[in-house]
Amino acid sequence: KYIQWISNYDYLYLKLSYFILYLKINKYLSFDFDRLTIYSLLNFFFINEIYFNISLGAKKMVVQRTLSIIKPDATRRNLTGAINQKLENAGLRIIAQKRIKLSKEQAGIFYLVHKERPFYDELCSFMASEPIVVQVLEGEDAISSNRKVMGATNPVEADDGTIRKEFALSIGENSVHGSDGETTAAFEISYFFSGLEMV
């Protein structure tokens, strides 16, 4: 995102410099602009772009990170590679990944938001039953692109081509987990990974 901004910034700096040069050559301007003044002018446009959402023609990229889990039903059937292929085909980059086995308590904390749901106990036992693969995915709108390639919670309702449509066994044993928003993504990533592990 910032790289995109910086290159736009340089591009606009160049444009504005040429424009000022043009004004000077044609005697519309008698005084010179220094670099700082030109940057101040640019800052003004960028602040407007941020606050009033005036587009300067740059495509805004929202690079996000999201937590993904390949659940026990999938690791047991050797589907890790096939699922990763689907994630990568969806434009998601696996920037961290490890195979671990959760205790029921650890699964319980991870799924604390569901503690009032009737399937909470069953879900925690399932997640702790066999190894899982936890991973951090990065990409443009990673949270929603991952949810899209995962498919609906219930595989019967999942769209064709999605991971759950192809691999899930049931609404409970549905092969993958994916964060459902920015706040949950931040919590879930930090639950399994340190910053140094994401590259």
Chain positions contacting ligand ADP, by CB under 6 A: 114, 119, 122-123, 153, 171-172, 174, 177, 180
Q: What angle do CA 79, 83, 88 make, to 5 degrees?
A: 150
Nearest approach in angstroms of CB 94 to ligand ADP is: 19
Q: Which does 65 bind (CB under 5 to 8 A by kind): ligand ADP, Mg ion, none?
A: none
Q: Which does 22 bind (CB under 5 to 8 A by kind): Mg ion, ligand ADP, none?
A: none
- 114 is a catalytic site residue: no
In a 3-state reduction of DSSP, which class is residue 158?
coil
Residue with smaller CB distance to Mg ion, 42 or 168: 168
Site string for Mg ion, 29-68 (x = CB under 5 A): ----------------------------------------
Residue with smaller CB distance to ligand ADP, 68 or 84: 68
Nearest approach in angstroms of CB 169 to ligand ADP is: 10
C-alpha 111/C-alpha 100 separation (Å) is: 16
Q: Which does 172 bind (CB under 5 to 8 A by kind): ligand ADP, Mg ion, none?
A: ligand ADP
Two tokens at 17? 């410099």
What one-character DSSP code corresponds to residue 65? E
Residue whose CB is nearest to Mg ion in the complex, by number: 180
**Considering 143, 145, 177, 193, which one is annotated as catalytic?**
177
Residue with smaller CB distance to ligand ADP, 122 or 182: 122
Q: What angle do CA 69, 78, 170 make, to 5 degrees?
A: 60
Nearest approach in angstroms of CB 122 to ligand ADP is: 6
DSSP 161-184: TSHHHHH--SSSS-SEEE--SHHH
Stretch that binds Mg ion, among 42-50, 97-105, 138-146, 176-184 (CB under 5 A): 176-184
C-alpha 98/C-alpha 69 separation (Å) is: 10
In a 3-state reduction of DSSP, which class is residue 77?
coil
Nearest approach in angstroms of CB 66 to ligand ADP is: 12
Which among 66, 72, 102 has a CA at the least distance from the CA of 87? 66
Q: How many CB atoms lie within 10 A of CB 182?
A: 12
Which among 83, 81, 132, 142 has a CA at the least distance from the CA of 110? 132
Q: Any idea which residues carry the catalytic annotation?
A: 177
